[in-house]
A and B are shown apart, each in its own frame.
Chain A
């Protein structure tokens, strides 16, 4: 009887001890991450909430009128100029993410399946241009595409055109080319990572079961690498919608994007509530578009199988 009681007690104590240990492990982990968490909370989450709050207020000359209003959203979503800018930004970010992913997939495939010992070197080679100043990369495209630029003088030197073409710079195409170049590494890396995770024995199995290279790729490799494709699309699409450097330097009058309007509202025009409403609308619309694209891709891949 006593022996049994003695046997029970330490076990219970041990269980209690283990629970306390587990809790303290959890507490330790949480305590350790809390400085970083708090930093992000205070400097990212709180500011975004402040922006959302501003979008429901209005500007009264130099002061901000804090009565609730949807006026800013009405302007942001119905004024033709903002609607056009938002539409153009969405089209640009859609095109840029399409081109970056389509151009990046073969190279990620090549590195993953044929890179051999030099995979690391290839990836390093691809990321180097990304470490050069973003402003200067945009500037170089201006040098390449400009009226007296490299491309024009090259084409004239080859006798393909007689006089410099003005169609290359200061339009949406120039913005798309520049951004596609700027975001290349961000598309290659996630696709490469998901291709690395593809189980090579599955591809062998598909071969053994009689699938040719095309079918094998479409039915095994491509579907299994879709997570990488999807994250590449998201990583490229959402940030590009908010770019204002590229449109300003190479976009000209027809290449202006929504971020230029947002920047103006926080700069010269100084209408914070309208700028806030434009920012919030842009975020919501681009997130919705990205979510729709992810759903379409998933649906299409299920259909293809």
Chain B
């Protein structure tokens, strides 16, 4: 049994990774195909679909909109995430578990229901749909991820350092700025990157809340109706994939470095 397991599990793991990556691999492959129809074997190699991208005004607008929304949503969700993660890891107070559960709820709710509820309230209040309403929605979606990343960052560092700083006469704010903040900076940057990536790829909230200003996923959705536009979408998708991959890799490296640093300082203190 053990021998069978140790023989088959790695093979299964390999197949599973292939299953996960298979669809993703076809984006770059067909984005350099000369034919607009995605069939194998490729009819020829070309970069023309990439060259067309900067000459599509609607795409550039959408990219700019996505950038604004992503930056705003990631900063605000990280700020709100810092408040929540700090409160959860540092203080005990009544309703802590319930509030934490509520903050994490968007993670397990169908996104369409979150989106249409916000849509109803926004329209009832007489607000018009704009990039601002998309930012509001994206913050809600990003908060659970920010809180998760930040909580693990805040948990792994040594409380006695803060106490030492307080004993040496620093004010609460001074301690936070000069001791806590530098220690949790990697977690904060990783939260910013993760929420930016989520906002960049998020479609459902943006679809309902964007009004006439499209973000990149909304633009892509519009293009998917036209078969002839597919290669351009695949080229754009490949670039987005690369961008997300770089951002997430940086976030992961930072997270690991922070974890390792917290471990070594812990050893040094002990």
B118 at the interface (CB under 8 A from A): yes
B24 & A110 in contact (Cβ 8 Å cutoff): no
Q: How many residues of chain B have a CB within 8 Å of chain A?
A: 82
Q: Are the C-beta atoms of A33 and B1 separated by less than 8 Å?
A: no
- Contacts A29-B96, A36-B81, A235-B107 given; indicate if A140 touches B23 (C-beta within 8 A): yes
Nearest-neighbour CB distance to chain B for A130, whole angstroms, equals 9
Residues B92 and A110 in contact, CB atoms below 8 Å apart: no
Which residues of chain B come closer than 8 Å to A241, judged between CB atoms?
A: 110
Contacting A at CB under 8 A, from B198-216, are 201, 203-204, 208
Encode contact with A along B181-196: 1 for CB under 8 Å, 0 otherwise.
Answer: 0000000000000000
List B contacts of A181 (CB < 8 A): 19-20, 23
CA distance A83 to B75 in the complex (A): 42
Closest residue of B by beta carbon distance from A130: B20
Would A235 and B92 count as touching, CB distance under 8 A? Answer: no
B268 at the interface (CB under 8 A from A): no
How far in angstroms is the closest Cβ of chain B from A293? 14
Q: Is A56 an interface residue (CB 8 A)?
A: no
Q: Is the interface of A mostly helix, strand, loop or mixed?
A: helix
Question: Of B23, B120, B204, which contacts A144 at CB under 8 A?
Answer: B23
> A153 contacts B103, CB within 8 Å?
no
**With A133-B217, A143-B30, A144-B23: A33-B116 Cβ-Cβ less than 8 Å:** no
Find chain A residues with CB under 8 A from B131 CB.
none
Would A36 and B24 be within 8 Å (CB), given that A29-B92, A131-B197 are in contact?
no
Which residues 49-94 of B have a CB within 8 angstroms of A?
A: 80-81, 83-84, 86-88, 90-94
Q: Is there contact, CB below 8 Å, between A214 and B91? A: no
- Inter-chain contact A120/B256, CB cutoff 8 Å: yes
Instruction: Indicate if B32 sits at the interface (CB-CB under 8 A).
Output: no
Chain A-chain B contacts (Cβ-Cβ < 8 Å), number: 246
Residues B120 and A129 in contact, CB atoms below 8 Å apart:
no
- Chain A CB within 8 A of B160 CB: no
In whole Å, how far is A285's beta carbon from the nearest beta carbon of chain B? 12
**Given the known A-B contacts A25-B91, A36-B84, A282-B110, are A48 and B5 also in contact in the complex, defined by CB atoms under 8 Å?**
no
Report Cα–Cα, A167/B105, bound state, in Å. Answer: 38
**Residue A279 at the B interface, CB < 8 A?**
yes
Contact B118 A47 (CB under 8 A): yes
Partner-contacting stretch, out of A5-13, A37-45, A69-77? A37-45
A135 touches B217 (CB 8 A): yes
B99 at the A interface (CB under 8 A): yes
**Across the interface, which residues of A come within 8 angstroms of B95, CB to CB?**
30
Residues of A within 8 A of B109 (CB): 238-239, 242, 283
Q: Which of B20, B83, B237 contacts A129 (CB 8 A)?
A: B20
With a cutoff of 8 Å between Cβ atoms, the chain A residues found around residue B234 in the complex are 136, 139
Tell me, yes or no, whether B254 is within 8 Å of chain A by CB: no
Taking a contact as CB atoms under 8 Å apart, the answer to whether A25 and B111 are in contact is no
Q: Is B179 an interface residue (CB 8 A)?
A: no
Chain B residues numbered 103-128 whose CB sits less than 8 Å from any CB in chain A: 103, 105-114, 116-121, 124
| A305 vs chain B, min Cβ distance (A) | 21
B244 within 8 A of A: yes
Complex contacts, B23 vs chain A, CB 8 Å: 129, 137, 140-141, 143-144, 181
A26 within 8 A of partner (CB): yes
| B262 at the binding interface (Cβ < 8 Å) | no
Q: Is B149 part of the contact surface with A, judged by Cβ < 8 Å?
A: no
Q: Is A272 an interface residue (CB 8 A)?
A: yes
Query: Is there an interface contact between B87 and A29, defined as CB atoms closer than 8 Å?
Result: yes
Kindly identify which residue among B91, B143, B201, B244 contacts A29, using a CB–CB cutoff of 8 Å. B91
Q: How far is the CA of A124 from the CA of B13 in the complex (A)?
A: 14
- Residues of chain B with a CB closer than 8 A to A37's CB: 84, 99, 102-103
Q: Mark B137-160, 1 if CB is under 8 A from A, else 0.
A: 101100100010000000000000
Given contacts A136-B27, A139-B224, contact A26 B139 (CB under 8 A): no
Shortest distance in angstroms between B164's beta carbon and chain A's nearest beta carbon?
Answer: 19
From known contacts A48-B117, A139-B233, infer whether A32 and B94 are also in contact, taking CB-CB under 8 Å.
Answer: no
Smallest CB-CB A-B distances: 7 pairs:
A242-B110, A29-B91, A47-B117, A140-B23, A33-B87, A29-B93, A32-B87
Q: Supply 9 A–B pairs (Cβ within 8 Å), ascending by A.
A: A27-B93, A32-B90, A37-B103, A136-B27, A140-B24, A148-B37, A244-B204, A262-B116, A283-B110
